[in-house]
A and B are shown apart, each in its own frame.
Chain A
Amino acid sequence: MSPRLRRWLLHPRLSLAVRIALGLVFIAAALPKIGDPPGFAKAIWAYQLVPGKVLNPMALVLPWLELVCGLALCLGVWIRAALTWVALLLLAFSLALTLNLARNHPVDCGCFGGTTHRTDAERLTDMRWLLLRDVGLLLLAAQILLATHPRKN
């Protein structure tokens, strides 16, 4: 990578914009789920990956973790810690989508709360786009991580 491109990609202003955008995505994803934990539990159950005992605690804590990390990113506090969770969550979401795509099991994302009734083919197509979106968000997280000085945050 040329030093010029590198400097441009890791520019503090770009990093600030990316950080706020990523934070807002996580806040927007968290709020509807915090408002309706049973709906989110149902969405997680549809993925058929989580044991019944873990389902409810996960549906209760995960949206709050998204909100806390989203706020931290937007406010610029504890950025690296928030990014650790954001990256882990995005990896987990991608893995869940990949596993269900691999076994041809259509699921609604549940990412931003409520779901609409769609056909299985539409769901499978959406899942591919969602996977791409998660990879994009992971790249944003990587940008912030590389552009943020470890000692400061």
Chain B
Amino acid sequence: MLRLLREDAGLTGAKPGCEAGECGACTVLLDGQPVTSCLVLAGQVDGSEVMTVEGLERHGKLKHLKHAFADEGAVQCGYCIPGFVVMSYAAIRDGKASDIDGLKKALEGNICRCGGYPKILAAVTASAESGKGGP
């Protein structure tokens, strides 16, 4: 599915990282639930709704999150960020970002090789607070 999104649909937000489901850079929402798109066969999503980071932006779902990431300087090289944003969106939506331990658990499947976790966690926490009820 990751290749279909990037090479056929031109949606390059989801990134190929480990391509083994371990890094979370390719996270998208499949029928609303976050999954690593590198592990899903394109043929398996026939009839499903796939929401990438581009879709979240287009539907106005990232108002707070994207500003929070910018304000906190949460982006270093940026490669992991689309995956973090999709996963953070789901975590806030599902009420898992209200305390730091819950948020860390929710983001356990996303790896940042720059090691920029403190600022990412700060950004998501700030977004969860400013959003209150919506990411």
A and B from one complex: no
Which chain A residues have a beta carbon within 8 Å of chain B's beta carbons?
none
Which chain B residues have a beta carbon within 8 Å of chain A's beta carbons?
none
